[in-house]
Amino acid sequence: MKFTEEHEWLRIEGEQIVVGITEYAAEQLGDIVFVELPEPETQVAKGDEVCVIESVKAASDILAPLDGEITEINPALADNPALVNEDPQREGWFFKMQIDDPAVLDAFMDEDEYKEFIS
């Protein structure tokens, strides 16, 4: 897995990456009550607003970590946004995307670097 400074995690699954928020981010947000997901087949550029999540504390945007195409969303979040709190780094994923250049993943933090970043 790779991690961003925006507290997103990126899990590589073959030709795609799966994107979600870290356990740290989920704890900071508090109870998630709503998730607005993107449409599949949407082309995104790094930094584009892709999702909106609302918690009891605040609303936050999830940004595209890379250029690419959204290929799949997590339909379970529509009925149960609390999955983001319950299992942020597995069942609480937001979307999958096909990225244009897998080599850019090397620029992100690994788990040890992310732990140091949040400490």
CATH number at residue 7: 2.40.50.100
Kindly state whether residue 72 falls inside one of the protein's structural domains: yes
Residues of the chain with confidence (pLDDT) below 50: none
pLDDT, position 15: 82
Q: What percent of the chain has pLDDT over 70?
A: 100
pLDDT, position 96: 97
Chain centroid to CA 6: 9
Tokens of 110: 């690994």
Is residue 9 a contact partner of residue 92, using CB atoms and an 8 Å limit?
Answer: no
Which residues constitute the domain of residue 41?
A: 2-102
Kindly state whether residue 75 falls inside one of the protein's structural domains: yes
Kindly state whether residue 66 falls inside one of the protein's structural domains: yes
Choose among 91, 93, 98, 92: nearest CA to 41. Answer: 98
Kindly state whether residue 32 falls inside one of the protein's structural domains: yes
Chain centroid to CA 88: 9
Kindly state whether residue 24 falls inside one of the protein's structural domains: yes
pLDDT, position 97: 96
Terminal-to-terminal C-alpha distance of the chain: 19
Kindly state whether residue 108 falls inside one of the protein's structural domains: no
pLDDT, position 23: 95
**What is the pTM assigned to this prediction?**
0.92
pLDDT, position 19: 97
